[in-house]
Copies of this chain bind each other. A is one copy, B any other.
Amino acid sequence: MSCLIITIGREYGSGGSLVAKKLAEALSIPFYDKKLIEIAAKETGLSEEFIREAEQHRTSSFLYNLSFSSRNLPVSDQVFIAESKVIKRVAEGGPCVIVGRCANYVLREQKNCLHVFIHAPLSDRFQRAREEYRIPADEVQACVLKHDKARAAYYNYFTTGQWGKCQDYDITLNSGTLGIDIAASALLDLIQKKEATI
């Protein structure tokens, strides 16, 4: 059982979510990925699909935002605020692993966190997208780059940092050169060491 809150940002296709799941299982703590969308949907009354869409449309979103805007806030801002509240509440609830959704930024003032970013060379990510996510070969490149762009735009809009810039994290790992298992295992070692100092 860990006493840390672990946030994991990740490039699409890097296996970051898999690393996060392995950590949560090894540490016997809750894992929040898409589950955050479910919780935010229940709390805001918005549909899960709507929230998922809002997460993807931060860049070319002017008309999209305008069309769904209410309460004087663009819809993506509403979704970000709702998800941030959920992130803060689950973090108050105790140790857990939270994937994506700028959780490192949302919890930047919270003690006992470990902020992680997982990346990998494009070739490894193309392969994972094809083999694990079953993206058709002729769509893989566009799919990976589109997701990266959306995640970067979302993070860079809602935070004062820059998506994937190492200074925003305690540790970044290349899951392509190191491998998923070594990355997860290295994080477990680091977590143990950090916990020993708390």
Hey, which bits of chain A sit against chain B, CB under 8 A? 117, 119, 121, 164-167, 169-174, 177-179, 182, 185-186, 189-190, 193-194, 197
Copies in the complex: 2
Interface pairs (18), CB distance under 8 Å = A119-B167, A121-B167, A165-B166, A166-B166, A166-B172, A167-B174, A169-B174, A170-B173, A170-B174, A171-B172, A171-B178, A178-B190, A182-B190, A182-B193, A182-B194, A186-B186, A186-B193, A189-B189
**Given contacts A171-B173, A173-B170, A189-B186, is CB(A179)–CB(B197) below 8 Å?**
yes
* Interface contact A193-B197, CB-CB below 8 Å: no
Shortest beta-carbon distance, A160 to chain B, in Å?
13
Identify the 3 closest CB pairs spanning chains A and B, nearest first: A166-B172, A166-B166, A189-B189
Contacts of A189 in B (CB 8 A): 186, 189-190
Would you call B167 and A164 a contact (CB within 8 A)? yes
A128 to chain B, nearest CB (A): 16
Contact partners of A117 in chain B: CB under 8 A? 166
Q: A182-B193, A197-B182 in contact; A119/B166 too (CB < 8 A)?
A: yes
